[in-house]
Amino acid sequence: MEIWQDFVQGFEVLRPWFGGALCPLGATLAVIGSIGSLRFPDFYTRLHAASVTDTGAVTVMLVGMAFLSPHWLVFSKLIVIWVFLFLTGPTASHAIANAAHTAGLQPLIGAEATAEKIEVD
Amino acid sequence: MGYVISLILALIGFWLGLSGHYTPLLLSLGGVSILLAVILSARLDILDREGAPYFAAFGIALYLPWLLREIFRANVEVIRACLRADLDINPALVKVKTKSDSDLAKTLFANSITLTPGTVTIEVEPNRLLVHALYEDAAGPMAFAEMDERSCRAIDGHRAKPKGPQS
**What does the H/E/C string look like for chain B?**
CHHHHHHHHHHHHHHHHHHCCCCHHHHHHHHHHHHHHHHHHHHCCCCCCCCCCHHHHHHHHHHHHHHHHHHHHHHHHHHHHHHCCCCCCECEEEEEECCCCCHHHHHHHHHHHHHCCCEEEEEEECCEEEEEECEHHHHCCCCCHHHHHHHHHHHHHHHCCCCCCCC
* Chain B interface includes A19 (CB < 8 A): no
Q: Is residue B69 part of a domain?
A: yes
pLDDT at B30: 93
pLDDT at B165: 47
Q: Which of B149, B165, B164, B167 is nearest to B108 (CA)?
A: B149
C-alpha B115/C-alpha B68 separation (Å) is: 10
pLDDT tens per residue across span B94-113: 888 888 778 888 888 899 98
* Chain A interface includes B33 (CB < 8 A): no
Residues B9 and B72 in one domain: no
Chain B neighbors of A113, CB-CB under 8 A: 87, 89-91
Domain that holds residue B17: 2-43
Residues B64 and B146 in one domain: yes
Cβ contact, residue pair A114, B81, below 8 Å: no
* Chain B interface includes A82 (CB < 8 A): no
> Does residue A21 have a pLDDT over 90?
yes
Mean model confidence pLDDT for chain B? 84
Q: Is residue B11 part of a domain?
A: yes
pTM: 0.85
Least confident of A8-17, A71-80, B30-39, B130-139: B130-139
Cβ contact, residue pair A45, B118, below 8 Å: no
* Chain B interface includes A92 (CB < 8 A): no
Residue A63 — very low, low, confident or very high, per pLDDT cuts 50/70/90?
very high
Residues B28 and B61 in one domain: no
Residues B91 and B15 in one domain: no
- Calculate mean pLDDT across residues B11-32: 91
Q: Is residue B10 part of a domain?
A: yes
Q: How many domains does chain B have?
A: 2
> Does residue A52 have a pLDDT over 60?
yes
More confident residue, A27 or A41: A27
Residues B63 and B94 in one domain: yes
Residues B38 and B61 in one domain: no
Q: Could you give the ipTM of this predicted complex? A: 0.83
- CA distances A69 to A20, A60, B16, B118, Å, are 12, 14, 17, 32
Q: Please give the DSSP secondary-structure letter assigned to residue A70.
A: S
Q: Is residue B63 part of a domain?
A: yes
Residues B64 and B114 in one domain: yes
Q: Is residue B48 part of a domain?
A: no
Residues B35 and B86 in one domain: no
Residues B63 and B33 in one domain: no
Q: Is residue B115 part of a domain?
A: yes
C-alpha A45/C-alpha B90 separation (Å) is: 10
Residues B38 and B100 in one domain: no
Compare CB distances from A44 to B75, B91, B111 and report the shortest one's residue: B91
Residues B65 and B138 in one domain: yes
